[in-house]
Amino acid sequence: MNTALRNTLIVVLLLLTALVALWFVRSFEKASEEITLPAYGEPTYNALYALREALIRDGSKAETRRKLDLPAMQLQPGDTVLMLDDPRLLTPAQVEGLLDWVQFGGHLLLRAPDADEDLDGGDQGLLERLGVVTSEVPARCQIWQVPGQESHNEFCSGNRFTLAGKARAERRWADADDDGTLAYARLRYGLGRVDVLGDMDFLLNGSGERDTGLRDIPHRDLARLVLAPNYGKGTTHLIYAMELPSLWKTLFQRGWPVWAPLLLALLAWLWMRCQRFGALQPSPREDRRSLLEHVRASGEHLHRYRKSPLLYDAVRQAFLTRLRRRAPVAAALTGDAQAQAIADHLQWPISRVQTALQIPPSQDDIALRDRIRLLIQMRNQL
């Protein structure tokens, strides 16, 4: 490549680079975008985490607990207790403890459960003692208007309830069609108060753009309303999970990164070990005897049928074959000369060599064994 062509290519590449840079600058601009990241840590299992933090920032004392623990909480008359789970799960001792505390100035917030007869607490249940009767009427949205804000629909989910004649309602929020059911009620019990809500979604952590939780001003205003009796007086105890989740459900939902590979490995092992139909693999080879057993059996066969000279001859030929490789001069001789050469090479007596080279009688087993033994010794010493 000459110099002119190289310089031309360099100029063209620079022009293309400048054009691409100019197009990029004119087509794109730097901008920032706010993205709401998914929750992690405590907010993933504590639905009242945002409410606790909001109360603490507002100067109130707030604590969250997984379950109701009256001895550890040490409730005082100015405290507030908010429970998310079904109040019918409380034990009689817990019901008595809560009502005794409310009677002397406590504030209790409950969520109305569904009408489930299997969980009916009887006459001694918390709801029955307060005069709250669950209803099967489906929930309908209630309009909540805050000055300067758009109207909100609240209590759209959850359950509805009614009040028995003995219940004293200080505040109530009935459905718009006036079917006799309530979405919210504040009851007087001694010196304290009990708030029963159809649902508590506005008090929970927000989960996205639509479910903003306490980031919404109307939700904060409604939360301030339901917490008003003892707001700022004592400690607010938030009970977010009285009922333990199922172990199997938790393992199924959160433990799949562990049990799914183990399940696949188990299925693969079962597939490898299960019975197959048809010869997918070659049949295993049958057991074979060792070569020494075959040689011994062949020798016993020849000896049984009086063919022992063949055994001697085989050993003698093996000796002579090695003699031709190790002492070719002695192998080329015959008779006594060969015996003398072998005796000189092995430093054996010539009589012993001559005995080994003589064919034994066919009926003399002792002579056969001795001469085969001598031939093997002579062959090993070559």
Q: Compute the mean pLDDT over every residue in the chain, rounded to the nearest whole number.
A: 85
Average pLDDT over residues 329-350: 87
Placement of tokens 């055994």 in the chain:
311
Res. 101: pLDDT tops 90 = yes
Structure tokens at 229: 């009796």
Torsion, CA 55, CA 58, CA 60, CA 63, rounded to 10: 30
Res. 176: pLDDT tops 80 = no
C-alpha 40/C-alpha 105 separation (Å) is: 37
Q: Which of the four pLDDT bands, split at 50, 70 and 90, describes residue 266?
A: very high
Domain ranges of the chain: 42-244, 291-381
Q: What is the pLDDT of residues 147-156, one digit of tens each?
A: 888 888 888 8
**pLDDT at residue 178, rounded to an integer:** 67
Polymer length of the chain? 382
C-alpha 11/C-alpha 8 separation (Å) is: 5
Average pLDDT over residues 37-61: 87
Res. 188: pLDDT tops 60 = yes
Contact 184, 155 (CB under 8 A): yes
Q: Which of the four pLDDT bands, split at 50, 70 and 90, describes residue 369?
A: confident
C-alpha 382/C-alpha 377 separation (Å) is: 9
C-alpha 184/C-alpha 173 separation (Å) is: 5
First to last CA, the chain: 79
Residue 229's SS3 state is: coil
Nearest to 379 by CA among 339, 295, 323: 323
Q: Name the percent of the chain lying above pLDDT 70.
A: 91
C-alpha 298/C-alpha 308 separation (Å) is: 11
Amino acid at 342: I
Least confident of 194-208, 239-253, 271-285, 351-365: 271-285
Structure tokens at 42: 């405590």
Q: What is the pLDDT of residues 66-76, one digit of tens each?
A: 889 999 999 99
Structure tokens at 342: 């072998």
Across the chain, how many H-helices and E-strands are there? 14, 11
Containing H/E element for 240? none
What is the dotted CATH code of the domain comprising 42-244? 3.40.50
Average pLDDT over residues 359-366: 80
**pLDDT at residue 104, rounded to an integer:** 93
Q: Which of the four pLDDT bands, split at 50, 70 and 90, describes residue 331?
A: confident
Q: What is the pLDDT of residues 110-128, one digit of tens each?
A: 999 887 755 665 667 898 8
**pLDDT at residue 382, rounded to an integer:** 82
Res. 46: pLDDT tops 80 = yes
Q: What is the largest CA-CA distance in the chain?
A: 140
Q: Which of the four pLDDT bands, split at 50, 70 and 90, describes residue 206?
A: confident
Nearest to 94 by CA among 66, 76, 67: 67
| Burial class of residue 173 (count of CB atoms within 10 Å of its CB; 0-12, 13-18, 19+) | middle
DSSP class of residue 131?
A: T
**pLDDT at residue 304, rounded to an integer:** 80
Helix, strand, coil: what percent of the chain each, to 5? Answer: 50, 15, 40
Amino acid at 153: N
Which string of DSSP letters, residue by residue, matches 37-64? PPP-SGGGT-TTHHHHHHHHHTT-EEEE
pTM of the model: 0.56
